[in-house]
């Protein structure tokens, strides 16, 4: 039976529930370049304890953001890699890292267009109208 007064979480609430803790985001970032083994991830994510690493990897597997592939039978050992859904978070993490760098005055996190070296700008774009959408014309209602 469904609670009539219950509301569905917003998309942001749902995303935060899936990956909203510090360690999960750092693990996803560490896996963006390539699959890694448990010990490699522990080295890549400074300060994470083995029990937290294990718990976060299991959570990310449950959320279908990470997949564990065995590379050894005895004892069983796994390499962890992002699923397509996990890789999709790469763009959001890059934006978050750039925002964090901007807040700290570190503009080294800005991405550049490789052929010309120009710093990239992120903008909302409407392909139907063929125009950049500014904040005044952005309907945020569905996402609140």
pLDDT, one tens digit per residue, over 108-130 is 667 788 999 888 877 888 889 99
Mean pLDDT of 88-111: 80
Instruction: Supply the DSSP string of 52-85, one letter for each residue.
Output: HHHHHHHHHHHTTSEEEEEEETTTTEEEEEE-HH
| Helices vs. strands in the chain: H and E counts, helices first | 5, 5
The pTM score is: 0.76
Residue 114: strand, helix, or coil: coil
User: Which range (7-21, 98-112, 122-136) has the least confidence?
Assistant: 98-112
Query: What pLDDT score does 144 carry?
Result: 47
The residue count for the chain: 144
Instruction: Kindly list the domain boundaries of the chain, sorted by start residue.
Output: 11-109
The pLDDT confidence band at residue 107, using thresholds 50, 70 and 90, is low
User: Distance between CA atoms of 93 and 90, rounded to whole angstroms?
Assistant: 5
CATH of 11-109, one of 3.30.1490.20, 3.40.190.10, 3.40.50.620, 1.10.10.10: 1.10.10.10
Are 45 and 80 spatial neighbours (Cβ–Cβ below 8 Å)?
no
Cα–Cα distances (Å) from 65 to 47, 117, 134, 137, 138, in that order, read 22, 32, 31, 32, 29
């Amino acid at each position: 039976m469904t609670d009539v007064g219950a509301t569905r979480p917003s998309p942001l609430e749902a995303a935060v529930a899936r990956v909203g803790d510090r360690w999960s985001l750092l693990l996803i970032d560490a896996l963006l370049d390539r699959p890694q083994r448990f010990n490699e991830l522990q080295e890549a994510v400074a300060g994470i304890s083995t029990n937290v690493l294990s718990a976060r990897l299991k959570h990310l597997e449950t959320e279908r953001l990470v997949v564990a592939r065995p590379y050894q039978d005895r004892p069983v050992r796994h390499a962890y890699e992002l699923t397509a859904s996990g890789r999709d978070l790469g763009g959001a993490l890059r934006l978050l890292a750039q925002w964090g760098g901007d807040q700290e005055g570190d503009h080294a996190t800005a991405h550049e267009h490789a052929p010309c070296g120009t710093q990239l700008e992120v903008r909302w774009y409407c392909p139907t109208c063929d125009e950049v959408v500014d904040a005044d014309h952005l309907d945020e209602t569905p996402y609140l």
